[in-house]
Amino acid sequence: MRKGQVRLASLGLAAWVMGGIAWANPYELSKNDVMDPKIIKSADISLFGVKLGDPESKAMDILVNEKIPGVKVEQEATFILLLDQRKPTGPMAGVRLMDGKVDLIFINNRFAYKTRGIFRSVLNSESPDDIRKLLGKEDFGDETVMGAAMNYEKQGFLVNYLGKDINVEFSIPQ
């Protein structure tokens, strides 16, 4: 290879590496404006810094012991529930702890004002079809007159749509 070809090859490799790094970055639900549904994987999702697979101690430290502005925290059985301090009518987000680790992260439409990126639009959707326009066709699901359960299994999340109530559950794909 000549000097010019080596330089081009190096630039191509650097771009490929940088693209790979950007693609693998975690998606913090309350901070990042990720809009491409194809790059979202449940393993890259975090809720105020807590990711799937994190130890229970980390989830407790971040979600319970540290004060999150505007958020009231409750513990109920295996769940750490986050409520909107302004209207604590029910949880807006949370995690489930099983076997000492976070195995589920959930958000719902009460969390829409804190969510960034594509999931803000999902939580404010008017129909299952609106959600499909944002995320693409689900891997499988069930739709009735009451609502829809749309499973994006390959990416590790499930969207439950029931009228004005929308819930997104992130779990480690099996």
pLDDT at site 100: 96
Task: Give the mean model confidence (pLDDT) for residues 51-74.
Answer: 96
Percent of the chain with pLDDT over 90: 78
Look at the block and give the residue holding tokens 């070809």: 5
**The two structure tokens encoding residue 118:** 């594509």
Higher pLDDT, 78 or 10: 78
Contact 104, 171 (CB under 8 A): yes
Q: Whole-prediction pTM value? A: 0.83
Task: Give the mean model confidence (pLDDT) for residues 40-44.
Answer: 94
E strand or H helix at 23, and its extent?
helix 3-24
Task: Give the mean model confidence (pLDDT) for residues 48-65.
Answer: 97
**Is residue 66 very low, low, confident or very high in pLDDT (cuts 50, 70, 90)?**
very high
Contact 91, 165 (CB under 8 A): no
**CA–CA separation, 31 and 39 (whole Å):** 16
**CA–CA separation, 24 and 122 (whole Å):** 22
pLDDT digit string (tens) for 67-108?
999 999 999 999 999 999 998 899 999 999 999 999 999 999
Alpha carbon of 24 to those of 40, 41, 52, 99, 157: distances in Å?
Answer: 9, 9, 15, 26, 17
pLDDT digit string (tens) for 154-169?
999 999 999 889 999 9
